[in-house]
Amino acid sequence: MTMISEPLDPAMFDACSPVPVPIRFGDKWTAKIIFCLKAGPRRFSELRVPLRGITPKVLTESLRAMERDGMVTRTAYPEIPPRVEYELTPLGHSLLGPMAACCEWTRAHADELVESREAYENRLDLPA
């Protein structure tokens, strides 16, 4: 017999509005960019080295979004050739703790996650 639970409150997220979700590190690249910048400022070309697979366009978009949200500063130096550096702000640095907690959780539960995914995929392969 299935228990009927209370319906969800349609206003359950109203307290969060109109502020957009500030946490961007759930996307594919932002957490990696934050990690690359944790020790100090880096140039665009330096960031591309460990971020193999990211296109210049996506890196630019990610950095702009992070700058817009106050996580990164962009400093352009009036030199020839031009030099631009990106650096974490205090707000960006404040994400390092939660990111470390997520990494620790993932390490602690990696085997369970892999097993669950494999079981799910195997279940999908079975004839209906």
- Say if 10 falls within a structural domain: no
Residue where the block lists tokens 């319906």? 7
Tell me what pLDDT residue 125 has. 67
pLDDT digit string (tens) for 103-126? Answer: 888 889 989 999 999 998 888 766
Q: Is 8 among the domain residues?
A: no
pTM: 0.75
Total domains present in the chain: 1
User: Cα separations (Å) of 128 from 30, 39, 116, 123?
Assistant: 40, 53, 20, 10
Residue 12 has pLDDT above 60, yes or no: yes
Q: What DSSP string describes 1-44?
A: -PPPPPPPPTTTTGGGTTSPP---TTSTTHHHHHHHHTTS-EEH
- Parent domain of 43: 21-125
Per-residue pLDDT, averaged over 76-100, amounts to 93
Q: Residue 92 — pLDDT band, cuts 50, 70, 90?
A: very high
In a domain, 12, yes or no: no
pLDDT at 66 over 80: yes
Indicate whether 6 belongs to any domain: no
Residue 11 lies in a domain: no
- % helix, strand, coil for the chain, step of 5: 50, 10, 40
Domain holding 43: CATH number? Answer: 1.10.10.10
Residue 50 lies in a domain: yes
